[in-house]
Amino acid sequence: MHLVKTYCLPTLMYGCEAWTLTDGSLYKLNTAWNNCFRRIFLCCWRESTRPLQFFCKSLPFYLLLDQRKLILWMKIRRLNNVVLQTLSGLNYYELLATCSKYNIDASHMSENTVKQMLWNVFCQTVDILL
């Protein structure tokens, strides 16, 4: 799993902060990420990968994508560079929608807080019998 997170995930997510994906494209990327877990742990293709992702401390692809976009937007907003702040304003409504989807006020949060909030959102969706 370490090799996949170190080499494959960065390649899969290269430039993702600038992407505008259709639902079909997001589904295909999420499926590719899930298939990595299925192959590594020799799971059936019909089984959910959420428990595997939970125990590997890894988010589903769509949450990783939202996390990276939010963190980049937060970093750009804190800079004193007018050009970058203006460019970040082009995606302002998309990022507001992402923040409201997870009840995040990203303008006043740290990177770790956003990561923790998205992890908590994911943990609420995992169905594990312990």
The DSSP-derived string for 32-43 is HHHHHHHHHTT-
Q: Is residue 74 part of a domain?
A: yes
Does some domain include residue 130?
no
List the Cα angle 38/127/11 in 5-degree steps.
35
Instruction: Answer for the pair 63, 120: CB distance below 8 angstroms, yes or no.
Output: no
**pTM of the full predicted structure?**
0.83
Of 60, 7, 2, whose CA–CA distance to 35 is shortest? 60
> Is residue 109 included in any domain, yes or no?
yes
Structural domain harbouring 58: 2-125
Q: What is the pLDDT of residue 128?
A: 66
- The pLDDT value recorded for residue 46 is 84
According to the model, what pLDDT value does residue 107 have?
65
- Mean pLDDT, the chain cut into blocks of 10 residues (130 residues total): 92 88 92 93 87 93 92 81 75 78 76 90 78
Query: Within a domain: residue 79?
Result: yes
In a domain, 47, yes or no: yes
Neighbours of 6 (CB within 10 A): 9
| Count of structural domains within the chain | 1
Residue 66: inside a domain: yes
